[in-house]
A = this chain, B = another copy of it.
């Protein structure tokens, strides 16, 4: 007998210019797109209760394969019933493949055709990630949406090095797909609903197109753009996106990985991106930087020391609405947990409010005007990254 749960699916509900309003249906719930996924690195969205993440409006969160396979370990998470019940998040979870963090965090790495051997940044223990092992880990975690294993190289790099890594990632995409479908066809507990491919190719438009076309030929249910927001700058990121998106199918979700600032999100949505993830709201929250509808507020700044106004009196988020900037300033300066808790919460709410505003603007056919007005109001500089 078949389960009656809805299968994975994506449908476009509205389009406004290149911006898209849609929804991804999964057995664990519907994801309204454009969507921002809070990052639950090590089975926790840092300094937040999952109830707060859900109430903020997040339909899906992201988990990190690299972190979770090292601690507490993927087999352990599986024995404990999977990542959802472990961390008390009953909505959909997307896991990355570990490809990015094995390059940015692991201390020793050796890349071969088979995969990547590396040493843990926690205790130096040796591990292997390959397309097959990455999918195995993601199934052990029980991720609803899984990502192909890819090689992420540091930029800038020579064109032939970028091409080599992109071609390797294509072969790994094929192997990831085979492993994913095998797990699903065998009815493995924790098998995912959908595997997304990752377009690579650095900032070389020709390589991006080649990567996209090859992946589309393999027919994935969703496509990510990887290897961006790694220091190439806002403008080059957007141009590379413009050179890539036309080669991805209209009817599949498009996910820009690891992005970004509020300005990045608006610009990427205006170009047709549907999904994002980024540590920015929570990492900046831990360092005293708040995102608001009137721009960034650095709560470390002494000018907030006696400011009784809240971050945003009209916010639906208690952290942004009910606490004075003076109090937040004090908490940040004192290194108190509650400072990180409140500002991470406020930022997580702001990011979800931003996505909701974009979804509404697209549905109502006024995205361009909304984007112009909002960019002026946020007053973000294109180069602004983290603190």
Contact = CB atoms under 8 A, between A and B. Distances in A.
A333 interface: yes
A55 to B, nearest CB: 14
A107 to B, nearest CB: 18
Interface of A: 42-44, 46-49, 71-72, 76, 79-81, 86-88, 286, 305-306, 308, 322-324, 326-327, 329-331, 333-334, 336-338, 340-341
A160 to B, nearest CB: 39
A326 B75 CA distance: 13
Contacts of A43: 327, 330-331
Q: For the complex, would chain A's binding face be called helix, strand, loop or mixed by DSSP majority?
A: loop
Contacts of A81: 308
Nearest to A48: B338
B337 A47 contact: yes
Given A46-B338, A86-B327, 5 more contacts: A43-B327, A44-B331, A47-B338, A48-B338, A88-B323
A341 B47 contact: yes
A330 B71 CA distance: 7
13 contacts: A42-B330, A42-B336, A43-B331, A44-B337, A44-B338, A48-B338, A72-B305, A72-B330, A80-B308, A80-B324, A80-B326, A86-B324, A86-B330
Question: Which 3 pairs of residues, A with B, have the shortest CB-CB distance?
Answer: A47-B337, A44-B338, A72-B330
Contacts of A71: 330, 333-334
A77 to B, nearest CB: 9
